[in-house]
Structure 1
């Protein structure tokens, strides 16, 4: 029997046994239209504001001469990004999958600009988070929400379905990133195959922190922005104080608060990352897109 991993959004997503089956077996599931049109438009408007979150961006080199802008923060806050991070459709579903009280580990924006946005090497999120003193990978999850259409041309996510069952793979620095042992990656690709995660804006993929994934450079004339939320279970509180937060209680809010919150940018309390404090990446000042 084929394992279903592609779902349309519904309010009872967290209790759908097929969702849990897909996550446990394949390490991921896709939710189409996780954000509806109005929610997506509101998020895009907030992120396009130059005085908002993106002014805290820095660059990550891919080792091939390209950079990708990234910005990361520790606490959700009360703006549109915070309401999505604490919403039932994201935080509630994540908490249900993790099987216990969860907290917001961090949110990040990945911004691949047209023709210049770099690639991300094969890695597991736990390749980073293990070094942060998080000991139990089954207690950690990410939700990747497409702010723009993500396809093969502009560097969509690629995954190795079921690879979370391999456990943690050794990781080393590659360019400015932490990358998985390529010998193990090649074995996993031959054994399990590779899937391209093509998403429309507003779609999302939830995935286990040991799922191997990567993304290619953006060779298109379209930007490729994504909004990624990470959660950790309360009883997996990191053993090592580091650049992401220790357990901090999180109040999950109804999905309706996404549209009810203010449109005014509010960065209060988010605690944006200074990349100089992150030992798992090597960041640079973002040089801006190259002129054609």
Structure 2
């Protein structure tokens, strides 16, 4: 079980226990139920519907020609997305896992709409982060369910323990970075496939080398999600690969920041 923090602010909070940390490193991922409230993710969805304009949305195709839309940020700002990615409910727990200071590497909204959201092929996030100047795999991501995620609408699939393989070579196909077929064919025989079904506000933290994918969304329900990715400060890129530079110090926001931001918008 997750340990409750001794001091709870305006929203509930859970610190990862020693057993949680052990499970994470054994399996390559950890699900945290209700890390954020329904009210908080509803606010995120409401704002995203208004301010994610089509000209800023990236569209990626899968091998069947289905499309998935996403918006990506290379740095956190003082907006609703930053209130999630910089939130101590995530950042403190990621630092517990790594045992050292971290910063936000990137963030994105995945807009997997009903009847059109394309599949993501098998890949590791570190499969391409490595090529961006991050020498070590001390990197992970936290995906927050904005809508309910299940098999019907293309929830995330993982190969439990597959992060132990280490980095696999990847190729660029239809705008997606896809893991080597030969390695994937062997990995699916060796590691257990698990569908990560989540309710709005649930979070999944997963290792940068964990193999994961998702099916197309052929249901009548959207599956939107927010993903923040983290790197250890000691592993910041050794070369400049993005416009703003290699690294920006993490400025955490308190656990109540999302609700505070909501009040500021309403005021």
Superposition TM-score, scaled by structure 1 size? 0.83
Residue by residue, what CA displacement relative to the aligned partner does 1:188-208 show, whole Å, maximum 9, x if unpaired?
111112000011111110000
Which residue does 1:25 correspond to in 2?
26
1:61 Cα deviation (Å)?
1.1
Q: Which runs of 5+ in 1 are unaligned?
A: 1-6, 266-292
Mapping of residues 88-237 of structure 1, within 5 Å? 88-137=88-137, 139-237=138-236
Structure 1 pair 205/15, CA: closer, same or farther in 2 (3 Å)?
Answer: closer
> SS state of the match for residue 15, structure 2?
helix
CA displacement, residues 167-206 of structure 1 (integer Å, 9 cap, x when unaligned): 0011112221111112211211111120000111111100
**Residues 154 and 219 of structure 1 are in contact (CA less than 8 Å); yes or no, is this contact kept in structure 2?**
yes
* Contact 1:9–1:31 (CA under 8 A) maintained in structure 2: no
With over 3 angstroms needed to count, the CA separation of the structure-2 counterparts of 1:8 and 1:199, relative to structure 1, is farther
Match of 2:83 in 1: 83
Name the SS of the counterpart of 2:225 in structure 1: strand
Long gaps (5+) in structure 2: 6-12
Query: Does the C-alpha gap of structure 1 residues 127 and 207 become closer, same or farther in structure 2, counting only changes over 3 Å?
Result: same
CA distance in 1, matches of 2:19, 2:184: 28
**Preserved contact between residue 53 and residue 71 of structure 1 (Cα < 8 Å):** no
Q: Does the C-alpha gap of structure 1 residues 247 and 42 become closer, same or farther in structure 2, counting only changes over 3 Å? A: same
Q: In structure 2, how many angstroms separate the alpha carbons of the residues matched to 1:140 and 1:183?
A: 25
Q: Which whole-Å CA distance do the structure 2 matches of 1:144 and 1:53 have between them?
A: 22
Corresponding residue for 1:247? 247
CA contact (8 A) 2:60 2:67 kept: yes
d(CA) in 1 for partners of 2:225, 2:169: 26
What is the match of residue 41 of structure 1?
42
Query: How much has 1:38 moved relative to structure 2?
Result: 2.1
Per-residue deviation, 1:52: 4.2
Q: 1:217 to 1:201 in 2, by over 3 A?
A: same
1:54 positional shift:
6.5
When structure 1 is superposed on structure 2, of 174-183 and 160-169 the one drifting more is: 174-183
1:94-122 Cα distance to aligned partner (Å, 9 max, x none)? 12212211111110111111111100000
- Tell me the equivalent position of 1:238: 237
**Whole-Å Cα distance in 2 between the matches of residues 224 and 16 of structure 1?**
30
Looking at structure 2, the residues matched to 225 and 92 of structure 1 have their Cα atoms a distance apart, in angstroms, of: 24
Match of 2:9 in 1: none
How far the C-alpha of 1:66 sits from its partner, in A, is 1.0
Report Cα offsets for 1:229-277 as digits up to 9, x if no partner. Answer: 0011111011221137512111222201111015549xxxxxxxxxxxx
Aligned residue number for residue 282 of structure 1:
none
What is the TM-score of this pair, normalised by structure 2? 0.91
The equivalent residue for 1:278 is none
Tell me the secondary structure at the aligned position of residue 154 of structure 1: coil
1:286 aligns with: none
How far apart are the structure 1 equivalents of 2:89 and 2:3? 9
Tell me, in whole angstroms, the C-alpha distance in 2 between the residues paired with 1:175 and 1:118: 12
Asked if residue 257 in structure 1 is aligned to residue 257 in structure 2, the reply is: yes
